[in-house]
Chain A
Amino acid sequence: MISAAQIPIFIVIVPFLAAFLISIAGLFKEKYCQPLSVLAMSVSLYAAVATLIHVINHGVIHYHLGGWPPPIGIEYVIDHLNAMVLVIVSFVGFIVSIYSKKSVEQELPDKIPQFYTLYNLLVTGLLGITITGDAFNLYVLLEITALTTYALIAVGRGRAALSGFNYLIMGTIGASFYLLGVGHLYIMTGSLNMADLHQLLPSLYGSGAIFIAFLLILIGVWLKMAFFPMHGWLPNAYTYAPSSTSCLVAPLMTKVSVYVMIRIMFSVFSPKFTFQEFSFHEIVVWLAVVAIVGGSLFALTQKDFKKMLTYLIIAEVGYMVGGVWLANHNGIMGAVLHILNDSMMTLCMFLVVGIIVYKTKGHHFDNLGSLYKKMPFTMAAFTIGALSMIGVPPTAGFFSKWYLILGAIDANQWEFLVALIFSSLVNVVLFFRIIEFAYYPSFSNQHGDAHGSEKIDEAPASMLVPLLIVAAGLLVIGVFTGKIVTYIIQYTIPNGL
């Protein structure tokens, strides 16, 4: 019998081992790869949920890898924040592993074992980043995710390889910045354990080296999360990636990076340092405003559904970064809640794109005609996702916006409020434009088949059911915001705010 204290390790180790198992299984029978992946993801998800419940009931978990105590060994620290992110990552991993079957068979028929091997490694990396309490270990895992993501993007056709390469370069630069910052910290303190650093650093506040270290780490993480104007690599990489890759990467990569930023700001450093010693937080909120407005405007100019979404990811990163740097209770609450909500929204949207690609072989606006007639369920899910992106209650997106705007008012940073409202309005335009494409018959069509000529032609159940679960999830999360805040989010606010 496994004791409760051992559960956290399963979250990470199961997909890790599954990666090897899948690559071996792929040599014999390709058709086992996807079910194995689903199995691994479901165990990981189960363990993550169990861990989250444990954290809610009993508080923070410290797990020493191999029994080595910190600061020598690697320590896993699981508090409310990363317990939640672990559930998000493993949930997305689980949903997409089911969903990917048909899509991978269609897009990558000759690379199925490779895809699922990398898939499991990538999820392992993301989970590892989230669970680790060691700053250097985090770097290693960042590199694992970067390499696997590169491969997963580059297996796509056409411009995928080039976009993936661009991604790899920028990702490596980001990781290097991070490593440089961590190196500074190690030289100054002799420690790499986050909790240990948190204890050692306050005596060094005011030192230039620590200041530089913080800045380097921050820039590294911002590059990783495509914080405007360091976003250039993201749109192409996510657009040209195979559908299943973008479904996994788009919701998770930026959100996990935001998590890392929060971890560095509050658990390695402290609110006192980030908001008083560093004292650039008002400027960072302005940068976030630029990110939101910039991302939204770029999204407006797109004629491709998937590419439009990638620019929205950049805007959403602005939401979260801005929220955290508002430096108050409501702002941080909104940002953390948005990690959850935005990953679900983005997942929902990319699942829809994947289905459209599967059915129409493209993701340009021209591929959207009459979809409400052809795929009513897919489009219903899309509509819920769109409303959440716009921020209409009771969908999840409304509630994170609620806290973010309150945070902006509390901080007297009205520019952030204006940016959020602006972004919501742009989203109305963006998504109702798509709704128009899919709802009205094509007027340029000379054949004049105005109404009712299209037959229902829905996606296969293995794609549709995961999508409907996620769309329903957006409503459930929205309605239960109160519970989520009371049991999880309020504990993620650092002391002293």
Chain B
Amino acid sequence: METIISIRPFLAVLVSLFAVIPIVLSKRHPNVREAWTFGAGAIKFLLIASMLPLILNGKIIEYTVFEVIPGIAIKFKVDPLGMLFALVASSLWIITSAYSVGYMRGLKEHSQTRYFSFFAVALSATIGVAFAANLLTLYLFYEMLSLATYPLVTHHQDREARSSGRKYLTFILGTSIAFILPAMLISYHLSGTLEFSKHGFLVGTASKGVLTVLLLLFIFGFAKAAIMPFHSWLPAAMVAPTPVSALLHAVAVVKVGVFSILRILTGVYGIDLLKSLNLGTLVSYIAAFTILTASLIALSQDGLKRRLAFSTISQLSYIVLGVALLSPKGMIGGMTHIGMHAFGKITLFFGAGAIFVATGKQKISEMVGIGKRMPITMSAFFIGALSVIGLPPTGGFFSKWYLVLGTLQAKQVVMLVVLLTSSLLNAVYFLPVVYKAFFVSPEESLFEEEAKEAPLWCVVPMVITAIVSIALFFYPDIFSKLAELAIR
């Protein structure tokens, strides 16, 4: 595979970090301030998109910043998997920023400068993880993301925010220090390198027992992936303003966790080693447990955002499961699910936020008949729900289809049953929300007939992500090609 040296990945990371300076300086002029966010978002996206053709041609882009410890550099590498994730995160940042403007101004939130600044930092960290070429670089940006999102989660600065913030840090920072740091150093001690590579770097370095424990440290240590029992920070983090929940806790933060696990599976252990030690099965059972349990818990949640959060926990493990199947189709399904789920779930969160801005309602039981009041929002919500359930004509169908094929290819019938059961549960906890929004008699309805939507800044981004979710059904190529390249 041909390697090209280019500074572009590094710039893509830096652009939103440096955008913080003008964002803070223009705090007295909200419109100018938001213009900087959009500017940085556009540049970031274009930088990443400009690398796409090279990656699709089977090339790899690398850039070494410098050796921060003798032998270990801060180094970036753009490969198909990283590109897939970076594309999703950077494109959705622009859309979410537009939504943030509508949401934050609609609710007249305080400290908006702080909000937009840390959002920009969080996106730098996300792209940093996507393009990290070794475990140290990944860890660096992973921690940066944990810290940058703390002020976003605790934005309201009330008691609830404080206790959720504590939970957030305990799980996210606690696991990364207690599990990832030692696991990383043990790996380094064993192999003398931290560089991700096709066949991993742990082959033949230690016994099966040691490698199994190490893998468990990694899987649970990346608690951003919300694999049970390290998931409860995610529902707690729903105290954040909705755009934060939408981009960070449905896309950037949680998928950084999943992405890190994928890197461990494919770049540190390598498919062959996992197969020979039969560790894929272990991971897929861990993921399957989370998928089913989280889906069941989601059923009982009345808070809309909390229900979405448990749905996310379950969907994240789909991605892990897909890759842990170690069959080509399963891996394609898992990797494309990063993108498919992102667009579907962010639409759902945008919907929840729009309802909150327009009506102040957060509980599902209070949303009976809301379809008449907010028809566009609820239609978009319906499309998002279809995608997360995995029904046509949405992108979610594509990744679920591949996941199902993957279980057959790997001859894991149990996992097939898990996937089908979970999809059924998804339908059970999403479709009633939509049904009760539209199909109720006027007496039951809690809302006036007259349509009154959230501000345009909220509605337009939601419509865009809903349309993209449908478009991904007809044109899944962009993600599927990258996924195919990634497993080659």
Interface residues of A (CB under 8 A from B): 387, 390-394, 399, 402, 405-406, 409-410, 417, 421, 424-425, 428, 432, 436, 439-441, 443, 450-452, 478-479, 481-482, 485-486
With A425-B174, A425-B177 given, is the CB distance from A482 to B70 under 8 Å? yes
Question: Is the beta-carbon distance between A482 and B67 smaller than 8 angstroms?
Answer: yes
Task: Tell me if B435 counts as interface (CB < 8 A to partner A).
Answer: no
Contacts of A479 in B (CB 8 A): 68
Report 20 cross-chain contacts, Cβ distance below 8 Å, ordered by A residue. A390-B177, A393-B136, A393-B139, A394-B68, A394-B140, A405-B181, A409-B185, A409-B186, A417-B182, A424-B177, A428-B169, A432-B169, A439-B151, A440-B154, A450-B158, A452-B110, A452-B111, A482-B68, A482-B69, A486-B70
Q: Roughly how many angstroms separate A486 CA and B174 CA in the complex, as a whole number?
A: 32
Question: Is the beta-carbon distance between B157 and A387 smaller than 8 angstroms?
Answer: no
A392 in complex: contacting residue of B147, B151, B178, CB < 8 Å: B147
Q: Roughly how many angstroms separate A12 CA and B151 CA in the complex, as a whole number?
A: 47
Contacts of A436 in B (CB 8 A): 162, 165-166
Contact residues, B131-177 vs A (CB, 8 A): 136, 139-140, 143, 147, 151, 154, 157-159, 161-162, 165-166, 169, 173-174, 177
Task: Tell me if B188 counts as interface (CB < 8 A to partner A).
Answer: yes
CB distance from B459 to the nearest CB of A (A): 28
Contacts of B177 in A (CB 8 A): 390-391, 421, 424-425, 428
Contacts of A406 in B (CB 8 A): 185, 188-189
With A393-B139, A428-B169, A436-B162 given, is the CB distance from A399 to B178 under 8 Å? no
Q: Roughly how many angstroms separate A452 CA and B157 CA in the complex, as a whole number?
A: 11
When A and B form their complex, which 5 residue pairs have the shortest distance between CB atoms, in order from nearest?
A393-B140, A482-B67, A409-B189, A451-B110, A405-B185
Task: Tell me if B66 counts as interface (CB < 8 A to partner A).
Answer: yes
Q: Roughly how many angstroms separate A441 CA and B157 CA in the complex, as a whole number?
A: 7
With A406-B188, A451-B110 given, is the CB distance from A443 to B159 under 8 Å? yes
Contacts of A478 in B (CB 8 A): 68
Question: Is the beta-carbon distance between B174 and A485 smaller than 8 angstroms?
Answer: no
Contacts of A391 in B (CB 8 A): 177, 181
CB distance from A380 to the nearest CB of B (A): 11
CB distance from B143 to the nearest CB of A (A): 5
CB distance from B327 to the nearest CB of A (A): 35
Q: Roughly how many angstroms separate A349 CA and B196 CA in the complex, as a whole number?
A: 37
With A424-B177, A428-B169 given, is the CB distance from A402 to B69 under 8 Å? yes
CB distance from B158 to the nearest CB of A (A): 8
Question: Is the beta-carbon distance between B143 and A393 smaller than 8 angstroms?
Answer: yes
Contacts of A402 in B (CB 8 A): 69, 185
With A405-B181, A421-B182, A440-B157 given, is the CB distance from A485 to B189 under 8 Å? no
Question: Is the beta-carbon distance between A428 and B68 smaller than 8 angstroms?
Answer: no
Q: Roughly how many angstroms separate A432 CA and B153 CA in the complex, as a whole number?
A: 15
Q: Roughly how many angstroms separate A399 CA and B186 CA in the complex, as a whole number?
A: 15
Contacts of B68 in A (CB 8 A): 394, 399, 478-479, 481-482
A485 in complex: contacting residue of B69, B143, B186, CB < 8 Å: B69
Question: Is the beta-carbon distance between A425 and B69 smaller than 8 angstroms?
Answer: no
Question: Is the beta-carbon distance between B173 and A428 smaller than 8 angstroms?
Answer: yes
Q: Roughly how many angstroms separate A392 CA and B173 CA in the complex, as a whole number?
A: 10
A481 in complex: contacting residue of B69, B157, B178, CB < 8 Å: B69
Q: Roughly how many angstroms separate A214 CA and B111 CA in the complex, as a whole number?
A: 60
Q: Roughly how many angstroms separate A424 CA and B173 CA in the complex, as a whole number?
A: 10
B189 in complex: contacting residue of A399, A410, A439, A443, CB < 8 Å: A410
Contacts of A425 in B (CB 8 A): 174, 177-178
Q: Roughly how many angstroms separate A73 CA and B189 CA in the complex, as a whole number?
A: 47
Question: Is the beta-carbon distance between A399 and B69 smaller than 8 angstroms?
Answer: yes
CB distance from A293 to the nearest CB of B (A): 15
Q: Roughly how many angstroms separate A474 CA and B181 CA in the complex, as a whole number?
A: 20
Contacts of A451 in B (CB 8 A): 110-111, 157
Q: Roughly how many angstroms separate A393 CA and B134 CA in the complex, as a whole number?
A: 14
Contact residues, B179-208 vs A (CB, 8 A): 181-182, 185-186, 188-189
Contacts of A410 in B (CB 8 A): 189
Contacts of B166 in A (CB 8 A): 432, 436
A450 in complex: contacting residue of B157, B178, B185, B186, CB < 8 Å: B157
Q: Roughly how many angstroms separate A117 CA and B296 CA in the complex, as a whole number?
A: 72
B178 in complex: contacting residue of A387, A393, A421, A440, CB < 8 Å: A421
CB distance from A168 to the nearest CB of B (A): 39
> In the complex, which of the residues B67, B68, B159, B182 has the most CB atoms of chain A within 10 Å of its own CB atom?
B68
> In the complex, which of the residues B143, B157, B166, B177 has the most CB atoms of chain A within 10 Å of its own CB atom?
B177
Q: Roughly how many angstroms separate A406 CA and B154 CA in the complex, as a whole number?
A: 35
CB distance from A438 to the nearest CB of B (A): 12
Question: Is the beta-carbon distance between A387 and B147 smaller than 8 angstroms?
Answer: yes
Contacts of A393 in B (CB 8 A): 136, 139-140, 143
Question: Is the beta-carbon distance between A392 and B143 smaller than 8 angstroms?
Answer: yes
Contact residues, B364-394 vs A (CB, 8 A): none
> In the complex, which of the residues A393, A402, A425, A436 has the most CB atoms of chain B within 10 Å of its own CB atom?
A393
Contacts of A441 in B (CB 8 A): 157
Contacts of B111 in A (CB 8 A): 451-452
Question: Is the beta-carbon distance between B66 and A482 smaller than 8 angstroms?
Answer: yes
Look across to chain B and name the residue whose beta carbon is closest to the beta carbon of A409: B189
Contacts of B158 in A (CB 8 A): 440, 450
Q: Roughly how many angstroms separate A319 CA and B488 CA in the complex, as a whole number?
A: 45
CB distance from A365 to the nearest CB of B (A): 15
Q: Roughly how many angstroms separate A394 CA and B161 CA in the complex, as a whole number?
A: 27
Look across to chain B and name the residue whose beta carbon is closest to the beta carbon of A391: B177
Q: Roughly how many angstroms separate A485 CA and B139 CA in the complex, as a whole number?
A: 21
A428 in complex: contacting residue of B110, B136, B140, B174, CB < 8 Å: B174
Interface readout for B39-57 with A: 1 if CB under 8 Å, 0 if not? 0000000000000000000
Contacts of A409 in B (CB 8 A): 185-186, 189
Contacts of B143 in A (CB 8 A): 392-393
CB distance from B122 to the nearest CB of A (A): 15
Look across to chain B and name the residue whose beta carbon is closest to the beta carbon of A478: B68
Contacts of B154 in A (CB 8 A): 439-440
Contacts of B140 in A (CB 8 A): 393-394
Look across to chain A and name the residue whose beta carbon is closest to the beta carbon of B73: A482
Contacts of A432 in B (CB 8 A): 166, 169
Contacts of A486 in B (CB 8 A): 70
Q: Roughly how many angstroms separate A399 CA and B182 CA in the complex, as a whole number?
A: 13
Contacts of B66 in A (CB 8 A): 482
CB distance from A489 to the nearest CB of B (A): 10
Contacts of B70 in A (CB 8 A): 482, 485-486
Look across to chain A and name the residue whose beta carbon is closest to the beta carbon of B176: A392
Question: Is the beta-carbon distance between A405 and B67 smaller than 8 angstroms?
Answer: no
Q: Roughly how many angstroms separate A432 CA and B170 CA in the complex, as a whole number?
A: 10
CB distance from A314 to the nearest CB of B (A): 21
Q: Roughly how many angstroms separate A452 CA and B108 CA in the complex, as a whole number?
A: 14
CB distance from A341 to the nearest CB of B (A): 13
Known: A393-B136, A405-B182. 12 other contacts (CB 8 A): A390-B173, A391-B177, A394-B140, A409-B185, A409-B186, A425-B174, A425-B178, A440-B161, A452-B110, A485-B69, A485-B70, A486-B70
Question: Is the beta-carbon distance between A421 and B169 smaller than 8 angstroms?
Answer: no
Q: Roughly how many angstroms separate A420 CA and B67 CA in the complex, as a whole number?
A: 24
Contacts of B147 in A (CB 8 A): 387, 392
Contacts of B110 in A (CB 8 A): 451-452
CB distance from A294 to the nearest CB of B (A): 20
Contacts of A439 in B (CB 8 A): 151, 154, 157
CB distance from B254 to the nearest CB of A (A): 20
Look across to chain A and name the residue whose beta carbon is closest to the beta carbon of B179: A421
Q: Roughly how many angstroms separate A421 CA and B147 CA in the complex, as a whole number?
A: 18
Question: Is the beta-carbon distance between A421 and B181 smaller than 8 angstroms?
Answer: yes
CB distance from B181 to the nearest CB of A (A): 7
CB distance from A459 to the nearest CB of B (A): 20
Q: Roughly how many angstroms separate A436 CA and B169 CA in the complex, as a whole number?
A: 12
Q: Roughly how many angstroms separate A329 CA and B200 CA in the complex, as a whole number?
A: 27
Contacts of A452 in B (CB 8 A): 110-111
CB distance from B391 to the nearest CB of A (A): 43
CB distance from B72 to the nearest CB of A (A): 8
Contacts of A481 in B (CB 8 A): 68-69
